[in-house]
Amino acid sequence: MSMTGEALQKLFESEFQGMAKLSLGQEAIWDEVLAKVPYVPVGYTRASLEYQHAYMSAFLEELVDFSVIIYQKNRPIGVWPLSLRKKDGVYEFATNQGAVLPPVFVAGTSERLIKKYDTACLDAMKGFYNALKEKISLRSKWKTRVDFLQSELLGQSISWEQKCMLLKAVPRVVHDLYVDLSWPLDKIHGNLRKSYRSLINEGERIWQVEVHDQVSEELFEEFRCLHIAVAGRETRPKITWDFQRKGINEALDFLVTVRDSEQKLCGAGLFEVSRDEGSYAVGAYDRSLFDKPVSHVVQWTAIRHLQELGKRWHYVGQRFYDCDVPVPTPKEMQIAYFKEGFATDTVLRLMLEMDLEEAE
């Protein structure tokens, strides 16, 4: 049996019995809710979700947007970014390219209501699975993530984690690297890995470094071409780059570029931004200059700019360890070590594996 994406969406929405509605065509309401959420991670912004959707659509057989807006007496109080993706003929729950993100709720939502709607979201997945498991190839196992960053979302995160653990989730610990932008800039600088301080000073002396909150088509194409040259191939479709350029020009994200004295682009990094945090998205650096502090200057410039913008945290990336599952590659370990030199905090994140066949 095959079903259209629209039919799958309608069935999933019906599982909420009026407590939530699909977010399709409701972008203004999504943004209205996010504006009232006590802390907004980058992954919940429409710019990030649209980019991820475009990116994953290029590698999947099908990607259906299941994101919903949660209502309390006709008042929107929460959002939940969710997707149903199909690969090798099998559907599974995710949030675009990663594990399912928890729902988030506007400030002032009571703990009782948060728990009620967390349960409703999990019940909707279970109901959808039970309705279709005999009709389509739908994987019962799925993963969700719970971040323990010290922000006003921590209580909401713990509620989601507890609900999942009661449904027999299997947890795995992951380590994330952040910069606390509430620190004075000189304290952040003093916390850098010692060797980075002199490298950054050298880089700022020899390179022309710029922050772009607007980018021309020519500049962004220059960045894209550098990325292709460094990677040795085109790793993703151009439409994903178009979404990222759109994010910059809508004042949602920004680009940091590094040029030499002849105006050659030596490196660049794109950073996603929400109301409260920044996140390193993608970078490209001339391989012939790996002995030069190109990427160091990009990261430091971004940290300084994010603090000027009044952001609270900057997500640098995941800190991999040899004992992680799956085992990280040597390249991942090398990149993680580089990023760790900028971080002020290592924050634990739980990856929870769920099984809809076992959930009661």
Q: Is residue 81 part of a domain?
A: yes
Clarify whether residues 225 and 133 are in a common domain: no
Convert the pLDDT of each residue in 264-276 to its tens digit: 999 999 999 999 9
Q: What is the pLDDT of residues 300-311, one digit of tens each?
A: 999 999 999 999
**Global pTM value:** 0.94
Residue 328 lies in a domain: no
Structure tokens, 354: 């769920």
40 phi and psi angles, rounded to 5 deg: -110, 105
Residue 324 clears pLDDT 70, i.e. is over it: yes
What CATH number does residue 99 fall under? 3.40.630
pLDDT score at 1: 65
User: Helices 46-57 and 27-36 meet at what angle, rounded to 10?
Assistant: 130
Same domain for 157 and 200, yes or no, is no
Residues 133-152 as b or e (16 or more Cβ within 10 Å = b) = eeeeebeeebbbbbbebebe
Beta carbons of 82 and 22 less than 8 angstroms apart: no
**Residue 133 confidence (pLDDT):** 93
Mean pLDDT taken over the chain: 95
Confirm whether 158 is domain-assigned. yes
- The answer to whether residues 109 and 210 belong to one domain is no
Instruction: Say if residue 211 is in the same domain as residue 158.
Output: no
Q: What pairs with residue 348 in β-bridges?
A: 175
Domain count for the chain, please give it.
Answer: 2
| Same-domain check for residues 93 and 212 | no
**Cα Rg of the chain (Å, integer):** 21
The predicted-structure confidence for 103-115, as pLDDT tens digits, reads as follows: 999 999 999 999 9
Q: Is residue 332 part of a domain?
A: no
Directed axis angle between helix 238-249 and helix 46-57, to 10°? 170
Looking up tokens 């390193």 gives 280
Query: Does 319 reside within a domain?
Result: no
In a domain, 34, yes or no: yes
Give me the residue label for tokens 């653990």.
165
Say yes or no: 280 and 143 in one domain.
Answer: no
> Is a pLDDT exceeding 80 seen at residue 205?
yes
State what percent of residues in the chain have pLDDT above 70: 99
E strands, the chain, in order: 20-22, 62-65, 68-72, 75-80, 83-87, 90-94, 104-105, 141-147, 170-180, 208-212, 253-259, 265-273, 277-285, 313-319, 345-355
What CATH number is attached to the domain comprising 243? Answer: 3.40.630.30
Domain contains 341 = no
**Res 360: pLDDT:** 63
Task: Please give the pLDDT value at position 80.
Answer: 98
Q: Based on the domain organization, do 135 and 156 belong to the same domain?
A: yes
User: Do 151 and 199 belong to one domain?
Assistant: no
What is the per-residue pLDDT across 89-138, written as a single tens digit (0 to 9) for each? 999 999 998 999 999 999 999 999 999 999 999 999 999 999 999 999 99
| pLDDT at res. 291 | 77
Answer whether residue 288 shows pLDDT above 90: no
**35 and 116 part of one domain:** yes
Pair of tokens at residue 263: 């105006």
Task: Take residue 49 and report the two structure tokens written for it.
Answer: 């979700």
Q: Are residues 156 and 222 in the same domain?
A: no
- pLDDT tens-digit map of 36-91: 999 999 999 999 999 999 999 989 999 999 999 999 999 999 999 999 999 999 99
**Order of strands, sheet of 170-180, starting from the edge strand that comes earlier in the sequence:** 141-147, 345-355, 170-180, 313-319, 277-285, 265-273, 253-259, 208-212
The amino acid at residue 76 is P
Structure tokens at 76: 């929107």
Are the beta carbons of 64 and 84 closer than 8 angstroms?
Answer: yes
263 assigned to some structural domain: yes
Domain shared by 165 and 292, yes or no: no
257 lies in which domain range?
183-311
Same domain for 167 and 191? no
Range 180-194 average pLDDT: 97
